[in-house]
Structure 1
Amino acid sequence: MTSLHALTIPPLIRGMHNISAILKKAQASGIDASILLTSRIHPEMLPFPNQILFLTNMAVRTTTEINSSLPPSPLPPLEENPTFDTLISRIASAINYLESVTPEQLDGREEAAVKLRIDRRKWAGDIAYVEYGTVEFVQMHAHPYFWFHVVTAYDLLRAGGVELGKFDFLNAAGLKSFEFRDD
């Protein structure tokens, strides 16, 4: 069986490396950064920087939900007017934090319970509580939440005119080698 650390940490790190490379591509695109950084899909949606805030927070929070004795998040609150540079720096800080988490700090906690309080939007008017087993939390909550915000950030940039494709989403940081052939 794959270890809890292997199930949890490498996908989060890879996703953050890729979204960081995508942000650098957006930054170099020549498209007005203020347009990209204020983009949103829906008027009630928070703007682009919040996607980076949410994915980095979830990446770091995933580890502390699994092991509450881990140090708290080193990530500062989101600045009032973030730039691509500050968002890229935030991603780098989250990656550094995750790289510091050892297998010994997560493995062996597969059967522990993770209890979450989920504040629903004001339109719902209530608070939900949910309890997961640790592996279930990683697979059914943490990763989907993280990837939702990675995809949303990618989609906002692509809709804003940044030349992105599926390969950018999968391997923008060049973490995996590919052999291209005309077969």
Structure 2
Amino acid sequence: MDKQKITALQNIFSSRLDTLSHLLEVAETHFANDVESLLQRRIAPDMLPFGTQIAFTCDQPHNFTLWCRGQSTKNLNPNIASLTEARNLISATQDLLASINITDAKLSETKRLELGQGLYLELSGLSYVDDFLIPNFYFHLTTAYDIMRMAGAPIGKRDFMRHLAPLAESSIR
């Protein structure tokens, strides 16, 4: 994995965090009188609520950046109490993500992930990114989107895939 892949990953994380910010704007408009309830909504009783999905979405680029800096990874506070707090978390994560400046050597290191209950994973840098960070990032982003859809927010695929909007062209002349 080279510097080019890291730059691409920074762009993916940042643009999808922009999508999450957009979803929060829709939530603020659509659920203006009941934002607190939205933050506690879940898809299923054993799944985490909307606010936690936002924090867990941010955890992936946050921990990636800490790892790239040679620092210990640490998950963010999962108890999001307001959309303002959620927006601030997204913004801080994007700022942190923009600060990455690493060498290729870091990417060949092994990353140990503590899973709790005495379990852990040891992954190569490439596997850490491709098999752990990216799937978790999209899982929590998609779950946040799904909770909003389930709650009745007027969002669709265009909202989720906003990162492609600048690339859209018209065939109508």
CA distance in 1, matches of 2:19, 2:147: 15
> Corresponding residue for 2:139?
148
Displaced runs of 4 or more, over 6 A: none
Please report the RMSD computed on the Cα atoms of aligned residues, expressed in angstroms. Answer: 2.6
Q: Distance in 2 between matches of 1:9 and 1:158?
A: 27
Within the alignment, does 1:89 sit opposite 2:80 as a pair?
A: no
Read off the aligned partner of 2:96 and give its amino acid letter.
Y
Partner of 2:148: 157
Instruction: Give the number of aligned pairs.
Output: 171
1:116 equivalent among 113, 118, 122: 113
Which structure: greater helix fraction?
A: 2
Q: Which amino acid aligns with 2:107?
A: E
Matched, 1:134 2:135: no
- Contact 2:65/2:96 (8 A) holds in 1: no
TM-score, normalised to structure 2, is 0.85
Letter in 2 for 1:145: N
> 2:112 touches 2:123 (CA, 8 Å); kept in 1?
yes
CA drift at 1:161: 0.6
Residues 140, 146 of structure 1: CA spacing in aligned structure 2 closer, same or farther, 3 A cutoff? same
Q: Which amino acid aligns with 1:148?
A: F
1:20 is matched with 21
**Residue deviations 1:4-37 (CA, integer Å, cap 9, x gap):** 4124321111111111111111111246213311
Residue 46 of structure 1 pairs with residue 38 of structure 2:
no
| More moved, 108-117 vs 92-101 | 108-117
Q: How far 1:128 sits from its partner (Å)?
A: 1.9
Q: What SS does structure 2 have at the residue aligned with 1:28?
A: helix
User: Counterpart amino acid of 2:106?
Assistant: R
State the TM-score, normalizing by the size of structure 1.
0.81
| 1:6 corresponds to | 7
Q: Structure 1's 175 and 64: CA in aligned 2 closer, same or farther, altered over 3 A?
A: farther
Identity %: 24
Contact 2:36-2:81 within 8 A present in 1 as well: no
Query: What's the offset of the Cα at 1:76?
Result: 6.4
AA aligned to 1:85 is: T
Rounded to whole Å, the distance in 2 between the matches of 1:13 and 1:97 is 10
The residue type equivalent to 1:68 in the other structure is G
Contact 1:38 1:48 in 2 (8 A): yes
